[in-house]
Amino acid sequence: MPALPAEFIDNMQKLLGDETPAFLRALDAPPALALRLNPKRAGAEAASAAFIDGPVPWALWGRYLKPDPDIRPGASVPHAAGAFYLQEASAMASAAVLDARPGERVLDLCAAPGGKSTQIAAAMADRGLLISNDPEPARAKALAGNLERMGAANAVVISALPRALAGRWPEYFDAVLVDAPCSGEGMFRRDPAARNAWKGASPAGCAKRQAEILDCAAALVRPGGRLVYSTCTFNDVENEGSVLAFLGRHPDFAPEAFDLPGAGASQGGMLRLMPHRLRGDGHFVAKLRKAGVPEPPRPKGASRPDRDAATALAMLWEEACPESALPPDMDYTILGDRLYARPAGCPDTSGLRVIAPGLCLARLGRGRVEPEHALAMAMDPRAARRRAALDPEQARAWLRGEALPRDGEKGWTHVTCLGLPLGWGKASEGMLKNHLPKGLRRVGQGD
């Protein structure tokens, strides 16, 4: 591991004083790796038990990973099935502070690769609207893939600069999360590249960028709504400095007190998670409330699908699953040769780079529909018209893209292992043809 930059050590000495030696020792200790269980997956904890080493106190579904180099959770069947998301323990704090609720409108402004967005989606339980954004299209595609794997049914993924959204959707969201690009000091103990990339000017340069993003975020929060700002860095320039400067520019926002079990109470609406004080890497979280009276509850209800979408839906319900397999209050639309569902009340996204316009339900052909992988991951497996339960060995073969022997009714079949979804197959002539997308097929699955 490269040596810590001398200027960084000097900065931390000024910040921590007598705590500095303990802090520096913590940066040379093994990182606290963790996963976050998916509450949407019945049996997720039992399926993941071989990897788990106790709860993360500040995250409801957070679990530490066993410190065993031989376990490979990311190569396992439960991981492919969306039973959990691999996420550093402290990184779970900001979504916990945001406290998204079912029925809200929520924006994750800097969302890739999706750890916090999938945590928010789980808290919303498929009710309400989650817009997950990342300005980098390649990163936004990875974000969409993680939301799909975890079965999020209420998410729309876009790739836009924050200023483009601020002018387009003013005061639209109940809650906005800004997990800001930062100098990454919190990753120093697990990422040698982060140490090498850090320069003395890094904090000030990042703070300038953070100010621009926060100003855009402020415009997106509705009166009475909340803004959560977080970084994975230690210095006070990007943390308390960025927050205090923001409050100076935006007197309509005020800090809001909070506390996290196992991490402590905020001071002035701000909290540091430090690796020598808890089992986690570095993180900073601030919660800010916008002045004003919240608008009355918004009426719910989806619009009626047009004729073509209604026809495709009727075919899909007949072929694969009933309408009740999806959340209520969804709008249905056809884009190209795909049928999508997205939460009622989704704002206009025309002219934006849309990576995932909603939950992709089916691919449409002449007189036929083929259910999409995203639908298999988002629905309750028990709702499928036909089901195939695989054992772990069969599941690993399935994830390699293999077809399997299968007797029984012909047609689209929801494939599971340990009650967890793996995708769609099509049963015909004693075989279950594999329809797992080629980009998701993997070799060498672990247990």
Query: Which active-site residues does the annotation give?
Result: 232
Q: Is 326 helix (H, G, I), strand (E, B) or coil?
A: coil
Nearest alpha carbon to residue 295 among 105, 138, 146, 37: 105
- The sign of the CA dihedral 158, 177, 376, 33 is positive
Q: CA 307: distance to chain centroid?
A: 34
One-character DSSP codes across 371-400: E-HHHHHHS-GGGSSSEEEEPHHHHHHHHT
Separation between Cα atoms, residue 213 and residue 210, nearest integer Å: 5
Separation between Cα atoms, residue 97 and residue 58, nearest integer Å: 9
Separation between Cα atoms, residue 106 and residue 120, nearest integer Å: 8
| Tokens encoding 198 | 């850090």
Measured CA distances, 307 to 197, 312, 313, 360 (Å)? 55, 9, 10, 18
Q: Which residues contact 202 (CB under 8 A, 6 or more apart)?
A: 183
Separation between Cα atoms, residue 179 and residue 210, nearest integer Å: 10
Residue 407's CB is within 10 A of a number of other CB atoms, namely 8
Strand 387-390's sheet: what is its strand order? 387-390, 411-417, 420-428, 431-434, 404-405
User: Measured at the alpha carbon of residue 271, what is the angle toward residues 229 and 52, in degrees to the nearest 5?
Assistant: 90
Q: Which residues contact 244 (CB under 8 A, 6 or more apart)?
A: none
Site of tokens 């002449």? 366
Separation between Cα atoms, residue 310 and residue 49, nearest integer Å: 43
Site of tokens 């308390």? 240
Q: Is 225 helix (H, G, I), strand (E, B) or coil?
A: strand
User: Measured at the alpha carbon of residue 293, what is the angle toward residues 291 and 294, in degrees to the nearest 5?
Assistant: 110
| Tokens encoding 112 | 């890739």
Q: Which residues pair with 125 in a beta bridge?
A: none
Q: Is the peptide bond before 113 cis (omega within 30 degrees of 0)?
A: yes
